[in-house]
Structure 1
Amino acid sequence: MELLERERELADLDAALDAAATGAGEVVLVHGEAGIGKTSLVRAFRRRVAGRARLHLGACDDLLSPRTLGPLRDAAPRGGPLAAALAGTDRDAVYDAVLDLLAEPSVLVVEDVHWADDATLDVLRHVGRRVADLPALVVLTYRDDELGPDHPLRPVLGALPAVRRLAPSALSREAVARLAGGTTATSAGLYRLTGGNPFFVTEAVAAGAEAVPATVVDAVLARARALPVPAREALEQLAVVPSGVDLALARALLGDLSVLADAERAGMIEIHPRAVAFRHELARRAVDGALPVARRMGLHAAVLAALLTDDEPDLARVVHHAAGAGDDAALARHAPTAAKAAAAAGSHRQALALFREALRTVPTAEERAELQEHLAWTHFHSNDRPGATAAGAEAVRLREELGDPVRLGQALSTLALQLWAALAIDEALVSADRAVEALRGAADPEPLAYALNCRGVVLVNLDREAEGLADVEVAMELGVESLRPLALIYRGRARWQLGDPAGREDIDAAIALAERLGRSDDIMTGYLNLASLFSRYARYEELREVVARMRAYVDATEYTTHARVVESFESRLKAQEGRWAEADAELRWGLDGQEGGGMVGRHALPTLARLAVRRGSEEAVDLLATAWTNAEESRALPPQVEVAAAEAEQAWLTGNPDLAAHARALLPRTVGPGRERERGELARWLHRLGEPVEDFPGCPEEFAAGLRGDHLGAAAAWERIGAPYERACELVDSQDPAAMLDGLVILDELGARPAAALTRARLRERGVERVPRGPQQTTRANPAGLTGRQLEILQLVASGATNADIAARLVLSVRTVDHHVSAVLQKLGVASRRDAAAALAELESA
């Protein structure tokens, strides 16, 4: 069929390729509903690439669990560096090889990225952030109507610094008439049926019926039924294989490919130099969906048998077809290996699906116990606390039945960390103690070293540094090199929390060793602990540096737990700088009981609660309660201090000293080396409440000056740190009218309504006659109290823009826009985008 009404999109692709030829590469996103013509557009563009750049093609598959790095395996030149890197286990080597591949004029096309595995998404994010300096064009196609709010492609698209978006539209009535060979009048029924969707149009036209078929599926099946029996049977065999079938597999399944000639002439399939494929995925699904179950299982079995003749079969495909064939024996043999490989590559969603298949079919308790331990860590990295603890507990149960104390000790150690992450602290300590005791007499030192490390991690995170330090030092003495990085990390953190900042040297050494050993989890754990310590001890410039390194690392991985913690540090820095609305929107995930549950929530909830207090939000009371519950369950001092300080601040702002009860109770726990900042933080708010707290040895100057009454000195110290709200509060505390007015300006600019109101009252009490009124809380055009950014986003929502469109327009991540939209809907009291648009119309007419 002729390609119609795509001249503008082809011109845009040509322009992007011309720009790439000058070294200004970019990512082009081709998106739209199924059948809208994304593949046809890209196919037409590919013909224009010849002689201008090298072309690399890959596609993602709708498998039970997508192939790990599947589209890159498709695109990799055979025998080249990328193929070699993909055959190994070094993730960085894959990233480097892809960038090297694109270091010469190139076009990389990856189709159907809505089906991409996590590892592929990691690579695309990594490449997309660097392609601007390459002579290459990256073209990604996807179905935007399949991207739900939590689809893993969303944050990848949001992380790309600049993209060109092409959204092919439905065909006009005139184009439909042209394809149908009639007029707009005679083709009216066809247009109504298809809505101008090019695939639907071509299928209905090709069916050749005098009347338009009731559905497009009917049209596809009508065309298939018209084929000779051998061609139809061959078509059915290919239909059970998602996406394309490489020629070797097609020959193994069909023998002579000439049997496909009739199907090719009918336009149902296309034969390329490396693969046979249905012309459209919807056609494949239509044929596959019409197969009787027994017939479909037999066809899957044929594909499985053909795949297993390869010395190194693609295990994701093997598992998919074994499941389709109902071959549990094949699943038991291959699913565990496929699951572990996917987890090792960071494809955690795929690993979860594969582990489920493996656990359903493996025959022995020993195998199931091992898989449950792997599954626990996969759930952990996916930020699924309940899944992680359930898998860890099941592994322990199975190990107890098997009676092997060494393997039981290892399972208990893993479970201890999952329980700690879920804030089941008592259970975590019991599990950790049981593990160490079970392994003390083990001949192999590695299990005991692992158990001691795990208990040390829990203890140091509970601020029981001396006990944790003893464990990790014994673990190091056992001489297990692979476990040394984790021990060094927590030895360094324990030392620093006990008052010795030189503990940082241990963490730096741990990260360097982990890099040499290729232990990516330990690298990220090292960075996260550095960030926690820099935040705890107000070393903000170093915190910004390590957060930037962490961001680069998580952008190249799909470790949701790590990513959430990184986001929390970024947002906390924004909150300190006064970028409150942005920080609030980015931390809203902390209120999701699943996503923000457990230990991850302690990084988001205290900041959310403090922002609510400072902005005078109606949510403040509830957020403080939620944050305190999480912090108390964590049994960690930093989040408890942060929430207690926010409660004391609320007491100061509202004149209700009872709200500072937690701050008073915590103050004695902050006495001692390594706790000076926590003590200073609580002391300054209790001091503002008129309580008898004083400066103390080692108190940081920004706190000490205020406690001594030198509020202008404290304000200067906070200005050096870059904390405008804290500076403004000290200016207000100075009781100097000029300084207080300066502080009021800052508070108004920040939107700190409660502190600004308190300041105005104080100024009037001091006889200042001309106190600035300040900004009104709402305006006639905005009685809902939306921020400027929220009003802007509401207007875009009302215009019909998707969150991805808004993100591109405002240069924000899609995740940030998701949070902004949720906040807007909440403030408006509506549940849908349509209702939000109606609410905007009411606001504008009020």
Structure 2
Amino acid sequence: MQSSSLIGREGDLASLEAALSRAVAGDAATVLVGGEAGIGKTRLVTEFAARLPEGTVLVRGQCVDLDRDAPPYAPLIAALRALVATFGVDVVRESAGPGRDALAVLLPELATGEPAGSGGPDRLFDAVATALEALSRRHALIVVIEDLHWADQATLGLLRFLIRVLERAGLVLLLTYRSDELGRGHPLRPLIAELDRSRRVERLELARLSRRQVRRLSTELRGAPLDGAELDEVVQRTDGVPFFVEELLRGGLGPVESLPDTLRELLLARYELLADPTQRLLRLIAAGGVRVEHELLSAVAEVPAESLDEAAREAVQAGVLLVDETAYSFRHALVREAVHDELLPGERVRFHTRYAEALEQRSATPGADAAAVSYHWMAARDLRAAFTSSLAAMQQARQSFASAGAARLGERALELWERVPDAEQLAGRSRIELLAETAYALRDAGESERAGDLIDEAIAASSPERAEEYARLLRGKASFLANIGETGSIELLRRALDVLEGRPRSVLRANVLGELAARLMLAACFGDAVQTADAAFAEAEEVGSRPRMSVAANIRGIARVAAGDVDRGLADLELAGGLADGDDSAAIRHLINASDALSLLGRYEEAVQVAESGVEQARLRGVERTSGAMLLSNVAAPLFALGRTARADKVLDRALELDPPIGFSAHLQRLKLQSTLWSGDVQRADRLLRGWRTGLGLQRRIEVQSQLGLAAVAGEIALENRAVSEAWAEVRLLLEPGRRGFAAYDLPLAAIAARVLARARATGTALPDDPAEAERALRRVLAGASSWPTAAVHVAVAEAELGGPDGAGSEVALWERAAEPALHRAGAPAALRPYALLRFAEALAGEGGRAEARLRAEEARSSAAAIGLGLVVQRVSELERRMGLVRPSGRPAAGPAAGSPARGVEDDLTDRERQVLELLARGLSNRQIAETLFISAKTASVHVSNILRKTNTSTRTEAAFLARSFAGRRAI
């Protein structure tokens, strides 16, 4: 029995229809429908589906309840197969675009003979997104995924990607989940928290029915209203859960007093009224999962077809089973769980064994069977079969890039290893090899710490006598440490080389040497990096590996460039590009370093072109979230340097939306911090820094460029927050003894450090370092980097910051030099000239050149506004207020209006006196007020005297207290 109308869900239904309207208009929508078991999630979706306008395509996927063994991508495979049935194989294949071969990993029927699945999970994800977007242009498309609380990590990862990247599509993703299943640590919880922050995601949490709604529902179900006592009983026993109300009030029951007392009895009430053969069939179906295909059920039932049909028909007529196209499913998952609990131990073993055997024999239906086989053998307690099937399922999960599932199955096989006598023979590998494979899967799933534990176990079980195996394990651990921002990779790679010493030349040794060279380069050990890359090149050349030769030349090139050997470094990078021809991985790696080198050298246009040429290659190869993100950052950085801020921000946001791992996102995050700060939104930049600080801090431990880059932007943010001491703590790493120089990053940081030191002098802020010695150290850094192609402008700005008799940046001539247009044509970042013009104007105002200061300020504002530098625009407006060129409100200054009505003592003050009063409230002396407002100390004293007279106060302290009480006080 089920109500024919949807009671209590009218608003939720309207929300789904509104989401569809947005999708039809071209804005993809995602709706999360949550609620406890029995609350009506599926019923809401069913009612929504029944009302769809003609031409709308709806496909469903069902997450599978197989304990921890949910097959990878199972619900999405079902939905995609439904799309193939609707649109045809050819249409779906073409809709997937260049990644159609990757999509064949999920749908083998789409295979074209090309190698399927090359390029990793990112290419698979992109293929699914491309297909859905293209198909949604043909018809409005709704993809329903039910019971997301049972989804595997691979499915959740793909859904997260789709929700993030599909913006302009006629698509609704409708996802349901049981909110009462989301205990602490459930993998769905962080996804829901993330989606709650997205403007494109709406979450509907279905509430229990009210007493009035229960009355409506019960009246419709029974055909007559319940009396007060009966209604009280139903409300009390069901708590307003619609499924329980319907079960209680199904036809044929007697008075309410005779209804079942427990939930279990309620769920099994219909089951227990059925004939024994039907009950047995239901227990068999319950062992198979939420949904069991008729063909599979026939294979495991061991009864004649007529008997199976008869029992199934009785269960359907009783409302326990539903027919879902070619499969049977329980009317509600809670009923299935209750029936499954009825299995006797012997039945459990027999039924799960039959399912495992039947699934193993199926060959015409590829997909997620391997994980299901493993689950059933474990449930049947056949350890040998569970071991082999777990390994097969692990391999299938790896092929479909379901890393979390592969890792879990690998760990299961490892747990069973000692309990299976011939484990190594069955596995076709040693336990050490399985430990390493599982560790790699854990690493790819983002579980780097657990991966490190397994690789440590493998290393402990191996030995240097097994040289190649041992070296590979050490190289693997080095990679894991780098992934989580831990130090130690260099030492591990050197140990691997020691193990391989004396052995024949090999690709493995070339690989280890190349990776060691890369780690040395990132640690700014440029000389060692070049020497090691030389050895890697020679090793690779000896064994005829052009890809490894390319990588070695690539690392040698970027290390030489960073060390200042620019011509030879660029020649190496060009050589690396030629050697990479035909190898996607080496080619993309070359484009990353080549574009980075050009950008660091100030050749921004070339850098953009090179990086952009690699972005599409990375996407097609399936590494958009890793190497592709780095290439996008190498597009955005030179675009910012060119002053093309709007385009750079768009590229940067696209890259951040890919949610790359920290090793690939650190530079993106630093760029975002800098962009946000220089746009003028200091508070948001500060919030972002606090949120990203932990990950960026990990990365800075293993990369000098991350150390210097984070110090620069964090120092600027602190300085804009007037936290001078905090800013100095960020930038003072330049003064650390024994620090390795990295000219391209040292120069901008030195200029910022000079600014911080100047501000400390101007404000009297005490620093932990002697200012004179700190200045000498900064000048040594600048001198050491003076030969870098972009050094001139950074050195000029730093010199100006430290100029003037007080060393606080007050010398006009130095700022005039720093703002010269010719200086900025030689590879200077576009933001530096508007900033230098602003500081030129401030220096002019400080010396009394107000007319010229105003001209330079206007020039600074114009050039800053043209490239989106809101921070400089704000500083120009502040300067003009300090010079008295505009009223505090921003209106042009004018004389006092005659006959203005007096509204209080504050209205008796001139605009200039208001500014002086505000500075009094901040505790500034007359001399400091004069310096801030570019007036003489005598004039400042006159203003203070006038303020005391007009406010009828006798002391500066009393006037300052009065100033704080004035509403609408503006900061200078």
Q: Distance in 1 between matches of 2:737 and 2:398?
A: 33
Contact 2:633 2:668 in 1 (8 A): no
Q: CA deviation at 1:580?
A: 3.8
Match of 2:338 among 283, 286, 292: 286
5 Å matches for 1:168-187?
Answer: 168-177=206-215, 178-179=217-218, 181=222, 182-187=226-231
* TM-aligned CA distance change 1:296 to 1:205, over 3 Å: farther
- Measure how far apart 1:627 and its partner are: 12
Identical aligned residues as a percent: 22
For 1:596-634, what per-residue CA distance to the aligned partner results, in whole angstroms no more than 9, with x for missing partners?
78769978898667646644689x9699689989x9999
Instruction: Report the 3-state secondary structure (helix = DSSP H, G, I; strand = E; otherwise coil) of the residue aligned with 1:186.
Output: helix
Aligned to 2:511: 450
For 2:883, the equivalent position in structure 1 comes to: 737
> Contact 2:591–2:614 at 8 Å: present in 1 too?
yes
Counterpart of 1:68 in structure 2 is 72
Task: Give 3-state SS (helix, strand or coil) of 2:474's partner.
Answer: helix
Instruction: Check conservation: 1:380, 1:418, Cα contact below 8 A.
Output: yes
CA distance in structure 2 between the aligned counterparts of 1:589 and 1:203, rounded to whole angstroms? 49
2:363 aligned with 1:308: no
Provide Cα deviations, 1:296-345, integer angstroms capped at 9, x if missing partner. Answer: 45543332222211224523323333443344434433434544554565
Q: Would you say 1:530 and 2:530 are equivalent positions?
A: no
Larger gyration radius, structure 1 or structure 2:
2
| SS in structure 2 of the partner of residue 550 of structure 1 | helix
Higher relative contact order (CA 8 A, sep 6+): 1
Shift of 1:35: 1.9
Aligned-partner residue type, residue 416 of structure 1: A
In structure 2, how many angstroms separate the alpha carbons of the residues matched to 1:204 and 1:636?
Answer: 77
8 Å contact 1:62–1:242 — kept in the other structure? Answer: yes
Q: Secondary structure at the match of 2:229?
A: coil
d(CA) in 1 for partners of 2:738, 2:336: 52
8 Å CA contact 1:610–1:646 kept in 2: the answer is no
Query: Is 1:34 aligned to residue 37 of structure 2?
Result: yes
Alignment correspondent of 1:410: 472
Mean CA deviation greater in 34-43 or 407-416: 407-416
* Separation in structure 1 between the aligned mates of residue 416 and residue 697 of structure 2, nearest angstrom: 30
Q: What is the CA-CA distance between 1:59 and the residue it aligns to?
A: 1.6
Answer yes or no: is the 8 Å Cα contact 2:6–2:47 preserved in 1: no
Is 1:224 the counterpart of 2:287? The answer is no
Q: Does 1:460 align with 2:521?
A: yes
- Give, in angstroms, the shift of residue 17 of structure 1: 4.8
Aligned match of 2:305: none
* Amino acid of the structure 1 residue aligned with 2:678: Q
Contact 1:385 1:598 in 2 (8 A): no
Cα shift at 1:171: 1.9
Alpha carbons of structure 1 residues 353 and 683: separation in structure 2 relative to 1, 3 Å: farther
Q: Cα gap change, 1:232/1:522 in structure 2, threshold over 3 Å: closer, same or farther?
A: same
Deviation digits for residues 32-83 of structure 1, max 9, x if unmatched?
Answer: 3332101011123333348543331112234414332222211223562558
Contact 1:204-1:216 at 8 Å conserved across structures:
no
Which residue of structure 1 aligns with residue 329 of structure 2?
A: 277
Partner amino acid, structure 1, of 2:60: L
Shift of residue 348 of structure 1? 4.4
CA contact (8 A) 1:30 1:167 kept: yes
- Separation in 1, partners of 2:504, 2:257: 81
Report the equivalent of 2:766.
656
Instruction: Name the CA distance, whole Å, in 2 between partners of 1:326 and 1:679.
Output: 73
Note the alpha carbon deviations across 1:390-438, whole angstroms, 9 max, x for none. 344344444436x43233333322322322344443x211112233455
Q: Is the aligned partner of 1:389 residue 2:436? A: no
How far has the Cα of 1:685 moved from its partner?
6.9
**CA distance 1:777–1:49, change in 2 (3 Å):** farther
Query: Is residue 460–residue 494 contact of structure 1 (8 Å, CA) maintained in 2?
Result: no
Q: Does structure 1 retain, via aligned residues, the 8 Å contact 2:23–2:170?
A: yes
2:579 aligned residue: none
Conserved in 1, the CA contact under 8 Å of 2:611 and 2:635? no
Partner of 2:906: none
Distance 1:15 1:741, change over 3 A: closer
Out of 562, 576, 592, the position equivalent to 2:678 is 576
Give the 3 Å change call, closer, same or farther, for CA 99–294 of structure 1 in structure 2.
Answer: farther
Structure 1 segment 637-656 matched on structure 2, within 5 A: 641=749, 651=760, 655-656=765-766
Structure 1 residue 479 corresponds to structure 2 residue 479: no
Change (3 A) 1:499 1:127: closer
Instruction: Name the CA shift for 1:490/1:405 in 2 (closer, same or farther; >3 Å).
Output: farther
Q: How far, CA to CA, are the matches of 1:688 and 1:432 in structure 2?
A: 51
Shift, 1:655, TM fit: 0.7
Corresponding letter in the other structure for 1:44: E
Amino acid at match of 2:279: R
Question: Shift of the alpha carbon at 1:360?
Answer: 2.5
Write out aligned runs for 1:160-171 (5 A): 161-163=199-201, 165-171=203-209
Return the offset for 1:441. Answer: 6.9
Residue identity matched to 1:172: S
Mark the CA change 1:195 to 1:161 in structure 2 (over 3 Å): closer, same or farther.
Answer: same
CA deviation profile, 1:787-840 (whole Å, cap 9, x unmatched): xxxxxxxxxxxxxxxxxxxxxxxxxxxxxxxxxxxxxxxxxxxxxxxxxxxxxx
Aligned pair in 2 of structure 1 residues 43, 131: CA closer, same or farther (>3 Å)?
Answer: same
**1:651–1:730 CA distance, 2 compared to 1 (3 A):** farther
Q: Are the equivalent residues in 2 in contact too, given 1:114–1:143 (CA < 8 A)?
A: yes
Give, in whole Å, the separation in 1 of the partners of 2:779 and 2:387. 57
In structure 1, the residue corresponding to 2:361 is in which secondary structure? coil
**Aligned partner of residue 174 in structure 2, secondary structure:** strand
Contact residue 16 and residue 137 of structure 1 kept, 8 A: yes
Q: Distance in 1 between matches of 2:19 and 2:348?
A: 43
Equivalent position of 1:248 in the other structure: 295
* One of 61, 68, 89 as aligned partner of 1:80: 89
CA distance in 1, matches of 2:804, 2:382: 71
Q: 2:25, 2:170 within 8 Å by CA — same for their partners in 1?
A: yes
Q: Secondary structure at the match of 1:317?
A: helix
- Of the three residues 225, 234, 237, the one matched with 1:190 is 234
In 1, are the aligned partners of 2:196 and 2:202 still within 8 Å (CA)? no
Question: Within 2, Cα distance between the matches of 1:65 and 1:623?
Answer: 53
Per the alignment, residue 904 of structure 2 pairs with: none
Letter paired with 1:461: L
Output the CA distance in 2 between the equivalents of 1:379 and 1:16.
37
Preserved CA contact (<8 Å) 1:230 1:259? yes
Q: What whole-Å deviation, never above 9, does each CA across 1:687-712 have from its counterpart, x for those lacking one?
A: 69955998899876447668889757
**CA positional deviation for 1:763:** 3.6
Of 91, 100, 108, the residue aligned with 2:143 is 108
Over 3 Å counting, the alpha-carbon distance change for 1:482 and 1:136 in structure 2 is: closer
CA contact (8 A) 2:468 2:500 kept: yes
Tell me the distance in 1 between the aligned counterparts of 2:45 and 2:651: 40
Q: 1:121 to 1:499 in 2, by over 3 A?
A: same
Q: TM-score, normalised by structure 2?
A: 0.65
Q: How does 1:133-172 map to 2 (within 5 A)?
A: 133-144=168-179, 151-154=189-192, 157-158=195-196, 161-163=199-201, 165-172=203-210
Q: 1:526 to 1:167 in 2, by over 3 A?
A: closer
Q: TM-score, normalised by structure 1?
A: 0.73
* 5+ residue gaps, structure 1: 746-752, 781-846
Preserved CA contact (<8 Å) 2:732 2:753? no
Q: Distance in 1 between matches of 2:378 and 2:415?
A: 11
CA offset at residue 134 of structure 1? 4.5
Q: Classify 1:532/1:55 alpha carbon distance in 2 versus 1 (closer, same or farther; 3 Å).
A: closer
1:324 aligns with 2:391: no
Structure 1 range deviating more: 328-337 or 202-211 = 202-211
CA distance in 2, matches of 1:675, 1:484: 29
